[in-house]
C-alpha cells in the first residue's frame, strides 16, 4: 500500500486536501494546485470559502489572479465539506494554534480538524500536521484520534509533522522556496511526506520523528523571541548610555560570523512569535523543565509598548507638554511591515495604553482603514500635512513601504521613530529608541 501511494504521489495521481486556508494553508494549497494536483481547500469559515469561490483573496501574499485560475480550472476546490477527504490520499492540516490565558496552548482547532479527518479517513492516506504545536502532539494526540476507527498508523494510514516556515510579506522566500522539515511516525510516513512536498519544494530535510520536527519549529521561533527580547533590552541600555543602538547593530553585523542582526521595536506580534514559544514553555514545564529564557524574553517584549509610552512622555515633557490631552498619531497598526495582519499587534497595546493615560490618539495605516476590535473602534486618520502638523507627537510604529515619510518629517513637531527610518539624514528631528 505504501509503494502504491508513493508511486501515485510521484505521478500526481492523488487529490490533496488542505484544512485551514489562512496565511499558511492557502499558499500551500495553491502551490499543489499549480503543480498539477487536484486540491480540496477545506475551511469552516463560510465567508472565506465564498470569497475564494468568487476569486478574491483575503491574504496579503496571495493575489486574486492566483486564485481565479485554479478555481476556474477546478484544480483548487474551496469547500466547507469535510466529506471530500474521502477522495484524497493526502491531507494537510494548517489550522490555528493560539494560546489561552495563563500560558496554556489551545489545541481545540487541531483536535476538531483531526476528528473531521478521522470521520472521513480511508486506508492508504497520508495525513500531515503543519500547525505549530508542542513536541509530542502528533504521536500522543493525533495518532490515537486517527486510530479510533480501527486503522493503524504506519500500516493503514501514514502520519507526519512538517512545520510551516512562511514569512508573510517576504516576496523572496515564498512557501515553495523555503526548505521543508518533515518527521514521520514511521520511516514510510517520512518517505511519503518527503515525496509529497518534493513535488512543490526543492529541499526537504527529514528528521527522525514528528517530535524532532515539532521541536525544530519551536527552536526557530523561540530563537527569534529571545533575540528580539535581547535587542529590545540592549536598545533600552543604549538609550541610557546615549549610544545609537542602530549604529551599534550596523557595526556588529560587519562581523562575517557569529552574529545575526535583530532590531528593536514595539515588541512581537502575529500568530507565531508571541504564541509558539508558549507551547514549548507549557510542555517543558509539564516535564519539569522551566524555561527561563522564554518567560524573560516574552516579558521584555510585552513591556515595550509601556516603555515607548514612557519615552513619548519624556519627549513631550521636554517641550513642556504632558501626555494627558496630547495629540498622538500612531503610524502603522499591523504587527509587521507590509502585512495586513493585526493579530497580537503591539501597536494596538500602544494605542490602548496611550488612551488610558489620557492622550488623544489617532492612527494611520495604509493597510488598515479602520479598527473594529473588541474595545477598540477607530477610523484611520488621513495622512495630510495639516493632520500631521496638528499632532503633538507622531509615533512611527511600523515602517510600511509606500508611505510618504518625507511628508511626516516635514510637518511633524516631534517624531518617535521605532525603526529609525531617517536617522542618518534628519537625526536632529528624531529621538531614537
Ligand X SMILES: NC(=O)c1ccc[n+]([C@@H]2O[C@H](COP(=O)([O-])OP(=O)(O)OC[C@H]3O[C@@H](n4cnc5c(N)ncnc54)[C@H](O)[C@@H]3O)[C@@H](O)[C@H]2O)c1
Q: 327 pairs with which residues across the strands? A: 360
**CA 59 – CA 305 distance, rounded (Å):** 27
Other CB atoms within 10 Å distance of the CB of residue 69: 14
Distance of CA 285 to the CA centre of its chain: 24
Q: Which of 131, 362, 414, 420 binds ligand X (CB under 6 A)?
A: 131
Assess 57 for contact with ligand X (CB under 6 A): no
**Which residue of 12, 34, 44, 387 would you call a contact of ligand X, by CB under 6 A?**
44
Least Å from the CB of residue 347 to ligand X: 17
Of 176 and 420, nearer to ligand X (C-beta) is 176
For residues 169 and 61, is the Cβ–Cβ distance under 8 A? yes
218 near ligand X, rule: CB under 6 A = no
- Binding flag, residue 114, ligand X (CB under 6 A): no
Q: Rounded CA gap, 264 and 228, in Å?
A: 7
Q: Which is nearer to ligand X, 20 or 264 (CB)?
A: 20
**Residue number, nearest CB to ligand X:** 22
For residues 134 and 416, which CB has a smaller minimum distance to ligand X in the complex? 134
**Candidate list 68, 141, 151, 166; residue touching ligand X; CB under 6 A:** 166
Residue 109 as a binder of ligand X (CB under 6 A): the answer is yes
Grid coordinates of 240: 541610557
Which residue's C-alpha cell is 465564498?
Answer: 50
Radius of gyration for the alpha carbons in the chain, expressed in angstroms and rounded: 24
Q: For ligand X, how many residues bind (rule: CB under 6 A)?
A: 29
Residue 289 among the catalytic residues: no
Give the angle subtended at the CA of 136 by the CAs of 131 and 138, to the nearest 5°. Answer: 50
Helix, strand, coil % in the chain, rounded to nearest 5: 45, 15, 40
> CA-CA distance, 326 to 309, in Å (whole number)?
12
We find the least distance from the C-beta atom of residue 274 to ligand X, in angstroms, to be 10
Q: How far is CA 209 from CA 38, 218, 251, 349, in A?
A: 29, 15, 41, 39
Stretch that binds ligand X, among 67-75, 129-137, 138-146, 255-263 (CB under 6 A): 129-137
Binding mask 339-378 for ligand X (x = CB under 6 A): ----------------------------------------
Q: Which among 108-116, 228-236, 320-328, 353-361 is the span making contact with ligand X, rule CB under 6 A?
A: 108-116
Q: Using the minimum distance from each CB to ligand X, give the nearer residue, 39 or 359.
A: 39
| 48 contributes a contact to ligand X by CB under 6 A | yes
CB burial class (10 A; 0-12, 13-18, 19+) of residue 169? middle
| Rounded Cα distance, 63 and 60, in Å | 7
Distance, in Å, from the CA atom of 399 to the CA atom of 397, rounded to the nearest integer, reads 7
Q: Which of 38, 89, 211, 271: binder of ligand X (CB under 6 A)?
A: 271
Place of cell 480538524: 113
Binding map of ligand X across residues 14-43, x = CB under 6 A, - = no contact:
-----xxxxxxx----------------xx
Query: Of residues 88, 94, 238, 272, which has the active-site annotation?
Result: 272
> Phi and psi for 422 in degrees, rounded to 5?
-110, 25
Kindly list the catalytic residues. 272
Chain positions contacting ligand X, by CB under 6 A: 19-25, 42-45, 48, 94-97, 109, 112-113, 130-132, 164-166, 168, 271-272, 276
Amino acid at each position: 500500500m505504501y509503494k502504491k501511494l508513493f508511486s501515485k504521489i510521484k505521478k500526481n495521481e492523488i487529490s490533496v486536501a488542505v484544512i485551514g486556508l489562512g496565511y499558511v494553508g492557502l499558499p500551500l494549497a495553491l502551490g499543489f494546485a499549480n503543480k498539477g494536483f487536484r486540491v480540496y481547500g477545506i475551511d469552516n469559515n463560510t465567508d472565506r470559502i465564498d470569497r475564494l469561490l468568487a476569486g478574491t483573496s483575503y491574504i496579503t501574499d496571495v493575489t486574486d489572479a492566483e486564485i481565479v485560475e485554479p478555481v476556474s480550472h477546478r484544480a483548487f476546490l474551496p469547500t466547507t465539506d469535510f466529506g471530500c477527504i474521502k477522495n484524497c490520499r493526502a491531507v494537510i492540516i494548517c489550522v490555528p494554534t493560539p494560546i489561552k490565558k495563563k500560558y496554556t496552548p489551545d489545541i481545540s482547532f487541531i483536535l476538531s480538524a483531526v476528528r473531521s479527518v478521522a470521520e472521513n479517513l480511508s486506508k492508504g492516506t497520508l495525513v500531515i500536521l503543519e500547525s505549530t504545536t508542542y513536541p509530542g502532539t502528533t504521536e500522543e494526540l493525533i495518532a490515537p484520534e486517527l486510530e479510533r476507527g480501527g486503522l493503524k498508523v504506519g500500516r493503514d494510514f501514514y502520519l507526519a509533522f512538517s512545520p510551516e516556515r512562511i514569512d508573510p510579506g517576504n516576496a523572496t522566500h515564498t512557501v515553495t522556496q523555503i526548505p521543508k522539515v518533515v518527521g514521520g511516525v514511521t520511516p514510510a510516513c517520512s518517505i511519503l511526506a518527503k515525496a509529497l512536498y518534493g513535488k512543490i519544494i526543492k529541499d526537504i530535510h527529514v528528521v527522525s520523528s514528528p517530535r524532532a520536527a515539532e521541536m525544530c519549529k519551536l527552536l526557530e521561533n523561540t530563537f527569534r523571541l529571545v533575540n528580539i527580547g535581547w535587542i529590545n533590552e540592549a536598545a533600552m541600555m543604549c538609550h541610557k548610555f546615549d549610544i545609537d543602538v542602530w549604529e551599534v547593530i550596523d557595526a556588529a553585523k560587519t562581523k562575517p560570523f557569529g552574529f545575526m542582526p535583530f532590531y528593536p521595536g514595539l515588541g512581537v506580534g502575529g500568530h507565531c512569535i508571541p504564541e509558539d514559544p508558549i507551547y514549548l514553555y507549557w510542555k517543558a514545564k509539564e516535564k519539569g523543565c522551566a524555561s527561563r529564557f522564554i518567560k524573560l524574553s516574552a516579558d521584555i517584549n510585552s513591556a515595550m509598548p509601556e516603555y515607548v509610552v514612557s519615552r513619548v512622555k519624556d519627549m513631550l515633557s521636554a517641550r513642556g507638554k504632558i501626555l494627558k490631552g496630547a495629540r498622538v498619531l500612531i503610524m502603522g497598526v499591523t504587527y509587521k511591515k507590509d502585512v495586513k495582519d493585526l493579530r497580537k499587534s503591539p501597536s494596538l497595546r500602544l494605542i490602548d495604553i496611550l488612551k488610558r493615560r489620557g492622550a488623544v490618539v489617532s492612527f494611520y495605516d495604509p493597510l488598515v482603514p479602520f479598527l473594529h476590535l473588541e474595545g477598540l473602534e477607530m477610523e484611520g486618520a488621513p495622512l495630510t500635512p495639516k493632520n500631521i502638523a496638528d499632532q503633538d507627537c507622531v509615533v512611527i510604529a511600523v515602517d510600511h513601504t509606500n508611505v510618504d515619510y518625507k511628508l511626516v518629517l516635514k510637518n511633524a513637531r516631534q517624531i518617535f521613530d521605532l525603526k529609525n527610518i531617517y536617522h542618518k539624514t534628519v537625526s536632529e528631528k528624531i529621538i531614537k529608541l
